[in-house]
Structure 1
């Protein structure tokens, strides 16, 4: 069984309004009594299920007991779920799962893979080392809603309001976090109904998308409930990367399937870090900075992919996608540009903070790097940006693009072979575009453009040097995005050539980045010279560093130019 659903966090101040709206939607405007859900979650001490993005729970649902295995689906909206009726534990006995309930099908395969479970010798999994790590105590209120009546995207969704807490630890070490979530699950109809319903509730009540499961949050809470040494020894289960990629060579993969894989990878990266960032306290800037940095990287990757699609289309290699898919991806990239600019405002402050400290060490006035006027649409903090309507709307637009891009939502990473695409291409003479041709043609063109500009680096002013850096970074982002798809069968030589090229490009980008940071700092100090004479010392010092930094960047670019494009 596969769920198609989205989950949203509810601000504390909006909870009463959300309850009232659910009551208004209920039959006779009267909500049914909430369902009491009390669950215990199990994993191995070294978190093998969490690392596989799976969760195993035993839950009391009113008068019934249900054991559930949840595993990562192929998409933000999709999760594998196997529910099995079970019995309450004998009096005085602790809860324990019985893996035999999940025998057969994808659930058994997932447990065999993650736990090395061997049901032939260990039917119930007693030897797998499962222990209870955390628990949940919830009240669930449910209402069904028809969405998009009379349209192509008509559907019925269930709105489930979960209120309660996640609990971990015992006695004085027990910790808890509150839960205020709205899950929107497809009951029947088109999956776009889930997105449309989510967009409506986000805009009206300020909800934000959250792809972290209760299991993920419970695992993190359980880590904090143990001592520091034990916590440090636990493997990290948080990963922004998608669970699986098509196991095929580029020669047999269609360009549309490669596009879908790239979009999914961007979405997985972005939603993972939005969810992590939005769950932090507003004032915890130290914890927010590295997560915001990774979120910004995901936004850059999405924008690079959007530009790559537009560029290949302009040069005669259009993808066989619907107009809605193209427009939704463009809208998502526009939101990504705004959010990246906001995150860049905070990133610049952090990246330039070393300069006044260095000035002080040199005995010069330690004047902080002047801060430019904040963008008019700047959020209060990176955490607020992650919780913003715009951040969630970006994700909903990407999901819409994936839906409109074709394919079965519950198998969105299933490979579309070139021969399959040929069957649906427009006209009997239409030639399908392979992923290898699409990627190689576009990457060669981008590489050639960057190489031409790099050879004239001596003649580039600051703006054109920064433009080169942006284009080279986009090249790197697209290369990284599709790196798992390059066939391993090309041999060791081709693999090493790609690795050498990637390393040289990274070094060139590092050198260009250092030059750009100090160029920005110099411009900001110059802008305040008339108001603060102390800026003169900083300007003189930075100006003296400009020539050596340009030489370093030039050498790094020359080394990169010695590596031919390996694709």
Structure 2
């Protein structure tokens, strides 16, 4: 959109760490006051066209200066595009207004015309677009410049910005307590290095949500308060926003490096979007936790797909993703099996709550705590770091993307097919392995779905999903039986549940087998 691209990361500061962070800024600035008051008004149409396009338009007072800025998402959540233009202070007593003509002759003009159906020739200032102020911010920013990675390949100067204040809309407000780290000069990896340092020392957690995202959510809540019984459809949306899985932005002519980067970027966006939403949520929601777990599984599938190539993801990063997946799985299994006690009671079992499984090591208190954990932030920083690495050397083994990918997925599918033929007779452990391989195949293929016929891909994907759903029901009840078997060692009456679950296994396996037979007849798109 613009000739200017920011490379930055933002972190939330736990309330208990704020004083230590403030003290560090005082030390970095040698005790001198570098505070700058930033007051901004954010504009959008009533139906949120800019927000839907991942854009934000603001007019901000920065000390004595006024600046109008249009921001938009970049190739990943570490990179953002922006266009800054000087603005005038409004006349005394007049409201702040956005003037779209300030972006004349820039790529921002083209973006605004496209998203707002605006014509500069017919409406030079954009007053006919219906832009209104939806929310505002009042921030005190403290800056400090530091050099990171001195004497290394990744040396660079970064600006640290401590933002304290609030976002407000109507009668509502939420506090702002953030640290932004932006690349000024040198290697952009310096941003990652600085982020790791502050996370390790102060317990900060990564948040890829912009102030505009938080402000838009607050504006919806404020509007709903004003008209709780007749809220517009867009105002009645849930307070949380899930980031869904999207395929990589690839085409048939993409290179191996382009496809790898596009795959990593779509996985990273999926993970960071839901991590940030969970981290800012007062309580966890199953939809967010599900999408976060799915994002982690997609990243792990991508890691397996590119293993043993010059684009292999670091094993340490994949280990972190595995740990987080297992921790989320602890809560997921209990939610998925919440129906079981009532069914057992109806079948004649004594009333008994679902047994509590043994939690995995290092389990956070809840899903929100997991989203704010150092492990989750470290994983995201690791993946960002892989994207900042240079393109693979020219002497890396060359392969055309599509033949390589087709061959890889064909091998995976063939291995699944060999076991699927005899699915009904497989031991539970091997059935579980088949399900894991099938999920890996489905997730990896979905990332690169644009490379194949859409119709053929969807048919194959639906057939494979049906198999995995059937296998998932079997595995859920295998897990539940193990819980009740452990409980039966202390409470013999729990043996009833074990026998009841075992009695259902054959029927569930047959259903999965029928789905597998249909999938085996389906031709793959690759």
* TM-score, normalized by the shorter chain, greater than 0.5: yes
Question: In 2, are the aligned partners of 1:72 and 1:243 still within 8 Å (CA)?
Answer: no
Greater RCO (CA < 8 Å, at least 6 residues apart): 1
Query: Secondary structure, in 3 states, of the residue corresponding to 1:230?
Result: coil
1:337-372: CA deviation from partner (whole Å, max 9, x where unpaired)? 011111011111111111002223344323223222
Q: What's the counterpart of residue 419 of structure 1?
A: none
1:484-538: CA deviation from partner (whole Å, max 9, x where unpaired)? x315xxxxxx432211111111111111101110111112111221311331221
1:214 to 1:243, Cα distance in 2 relative to 1, 3 A? farther
1:431 to 1:14, Cα distance in 2 relative to 1, 3 A? closer
User: Given the alignment of the two structures, is residue 529 of structure 1 paired with residue 502 of structure 2, yes or no?
Assistant: no
Question: In 2, are the aligned partners of 1:55 and 1:69 still within 8 Å (CA)?
Answer: yes
CA distance in 2, matches of 1:132, 1:231: 17
Q: Offset at 1:231?
A: 5.5
CA distance in 1, matches of 2:90, 2:281: 36
Query: Secondary structure, in 3 states, of the residue corresponding to 1:112?
Result: helix
Query: Secondary structure, in 3 states, of the residue corresponding to 2:387?
Result: helix
User: Given the alignment of the two structures, is residue 450 of structure 1 paired with residue 451 of structure 2, yes or no?
Assistant: no
CA distance in 2, matches of 1:123, 1:332: 50
Query: Secondary structure, in 3 states, of the residue corresponding to 2:176?
Result: strand
Query: Secondary structure, in 3 states, of the residue corresponding to 1:226?
Result: helix
1:194-230: CA deviation from partner (whole Å, max 9, x where unpaired)? 0000000000000001000000000001111122442
1:259 to 1:549, Cα distance in 2 relative to 1, 3 A? same
Q: Offset at 1:425?
A: 2.5
Question: In 2, are the aligned partners of 1:58 and 1:68 still within 8 Å (CA)?
Answer: yes
CA distance in 1, matches of 2:162, 2:408: 46
Q: Which runs of 5+ in 1 are unaligned?
A: 408-423, 488-493
Question: In 2, are the aligned partners of 1:254 and 1:432 still within 8 Å (CA)?
Answer: no
Find the partner of 2:192 among 191, 195, 198.
Answer: 195
1:216 to 1:366, Cα distance in 2 relative to 1, 3 A? same
CA distance in 1, matches of 2:62, 2:181: 19
Q: What's the counterpart of residue 270 of structure 2?
A: 269
User: Given the alignment of the two structures, is residue 331 of structure 1 paired with residue 332 of structure 2, yes or no?
Assistant: no
Query: Secondary structure, in 3 states, of the residue corresponding to 2:50?
Result: helix
CA distance in 2, matches of 1:231, 1:166: 22
User: Given the alignment of the two structures, is residue 161 of structure 1 paired with residue 166 of structure 2, yes or no?
Assistant: no
* TM superposition score normalised by structure 1: 0.88
User: Given the alignment of the two structures, is residue 481 of structure 1 paired with residue 447 of structure 2, yes or no?
Assistant: yes
Q: What's the counterpart of residue 39 of structure 2?
A: 38
Q: What's the counterpart of residue 349 of structure 1?
A: 334
Q: What's the counterpart of residue 398 of structure 2?
A: 432
Question: In 1, are the aligned partners of 2:247 and 2:446 still within 8 Å (CA)?
Answer: no
Q: What's the counterpart of residue 78 of structure 1?
A: 79
Q: Offset at 1:109?
A: 1.9
User: Given the alignment of the two structures, is residue 391 of structure 1 paired with residue 357 of structure 2, yes or no?
Assistant: no
Q: What's the counterpart of residue 547 of structure 1?
A: 506
1:394 to 1:256, Cα distance in 2 relative to 1, 3 A? same
User: Given the alignment of the two structures, is residue 16 of structure 1 paired with residue 46 of structure 2, yes or no?
Assistant: no
The aligned runs of 1:175-186 (5 Å cut-off) are: 175-186=172-183
1:255 to 1:11, Cα distance in 2 relative to 1, 3 A? same
Find the partner of 1:501 among 455, 460, 474.
Answer: 460
Q: Offset at 1:544?
A: 1.6
> Which segment is superposed worse, 237-246 or 44-53?
237-246
Q: Offset at 1:245?
A: 5.6
Question: In 1, are the aligned partners of 2:156 and 2:184 still within 8 Å (CA)?
Answer: yes
Q: Which runs of 5+ in 2 are unaligned?
A: none
Q: What's the counterpart of residue 562 of structure 1?
A: 521
1:16-64: CA deviation from partner (whole Å, max 9, x where unpaired)? 00000111111xx214241011101000111110011100001111111
User: Given the alignment of the two structures, is residue 25 of structure 1 paired with residue 25 of structure 2, yes or no?
Assistant: no
Q: CA RMSD in A?
A: 1.9
Query: Secondary structure, in 3 states, of the residue corresponding to 2:69?
Result: strand
Q: What's the counterpart of residue 295 of structure 2?
A: 298
Question: In 1, are the aligned partners of 2:42 and 2:59 still within 8 Å (CA)?
Answer: yes
Q: Offset at 1:123?
A: 1.0
CA distance in 1, matches of 2:404, 2:130: 47
Question: In 1, are the aligned partners of 2:257 and 2:391 still within 8 Å (CA)?
Answer: no
Question: In 1, are the aligned partners of 2:245 and 2:295 still within 8 Å (CA)?
Answer: no
Find the partner of 1:364 among 312, 325, 349.
Answer: 349
CA distance in 2, matches of 1:97, 1:239: 30
* TM superposition score normalised by structure 2: 0.95
